[in-house]
Amino acid sequence: MTNVKKPVLASTAFSFPGQDMVYHGKVRDLYRMGGLLMLVATDRISAFDHILPRSIPFKGQVLNQLAAYFLRATADEVPNWLIDTPDPNVAVGHYCEPIRIEMVIRGYLTGHAWRTYRSGARTLCGVPLPEGMRENDPFPTPIITPSTKATEGHDEDISADEILARGLATPEQWDQLVAYTNTLFQLGTRMARERGLILVDTKYEFGMFEGQMMVMDEIHTPDSSRYFYLDGFEERQARGEAQMQLSKEFVREWLMDHGFQGKEGQEMPIMPDLFVEQISQRYIQLYEQVTGQTFVPDTDPDPADRIERAITAFLSERR
């Protein structure tokens, strides 16, 4: 990979026939044509709800292809929005009316949950946390700790009672969200273990399409999930050592080490070339570890033009 030219897709500005909505998220650009949604995974990277100044080569391709891999593998158990992937960076599917809750599920006490626990709190999103746990210990059973899906600013932790009280979901919808979340996490956990990984925690987003609840975004990618290596996990835990992980948590840790947590007044550090390359390699490594397939990048020097041609051809075939 070191000798391959590495173009990046930092942003898009397409205009397709029948396009009636454009939304530029933290890392994805969304184009809607009626009931059809084109999701373009760019090479942007975010942390602490901020887009970082530098894009990561091949990150969008990895995320898009890894998300498609998991969506196809779980579609028989939980319905999802995906129809096709006409380009390495593009997923096409049903446009869903979003349920504005992120369904976060945690199998282990790490990340945000650990920071909350370390502060002395023993509940998270209304869920009680056992006493005597150490960082990265497994929960007796996975816990669901939802957050609000903010259109701007930070997502916020929220309890099931608050979700129902605020009308963010009906009781029937909440029960379905919980059931789908547990099912997906069980499937993802099994798939990860088959590849020598532990699915530590993840989040799912759901929406409604023609009266049916379905997954409406990526699942089990390093942007939405955290993985530990299974081999040596228990030994490292017994010795109190840091766990080896495949996720973008190391990006957050690098930012924190350089004085940035997304708080007001903090200046975002600029990642050096070597660290950008390390991030790219970590994403590729996770793809290959999880799928057992070799990642083959598309090195077109003008990825935006390639993507526009692919989407245009897809739309022409559907007419």
In the chain, the domains with their CATH numbers are 21-96+274-318 (3.30.200.20), 97-246 (3.30.470.20)
Residue 122 has pLDDT above 70, yes or no: yes
Residue 2 has pLDDT above 50, yes or no: no
Question: What predicted TM-score, i.e. pTM, was given to this entire model?
Answer: 0.89
Q: What are 221-237's pLDDT values in tens digits? A: 888 899 999 999 999 99
Q: What are 35-66's pLDDT values in tens digits? A: 999 999 999 999 988 999 999 999 999 999 99
Task: State the pLDDT at residue 193.
Answer: 96
Task: State the pLDDT at residue 292.
Answer: 92
Tokens 């998270």, located at residue: 124
- Determine the average pLDDT of the residues in 236-261: 91
Task: State the pLDDT at residue 204.
Answer: 97
Q: What are 153-210's pLDDT values in tens digits? A: 567 999 999 999 999 999 999 999 999 999 999 999 999 999 999 999 999 999 999 9
Task: State the pLDDT at residue 148.
Answer: 92
pLDDT-derived band at 151 (thresholds 50, 70, 90) equals low
Residue 245 has pLDDT above 90, yes or no: no
Task: State the pLDDT at residue 260.
Answer: 96
Q: Taking CA 43 as the corner, what is the angle to CA 42 and CA 45, rounded to the nearest 5 degrees?
A: 110
pLDDT-derived band at 1 (thresholds 50, 70, 90) equals very low
pLDDT-derived band at 319 (thresholds 50, 70, 90) equals confident
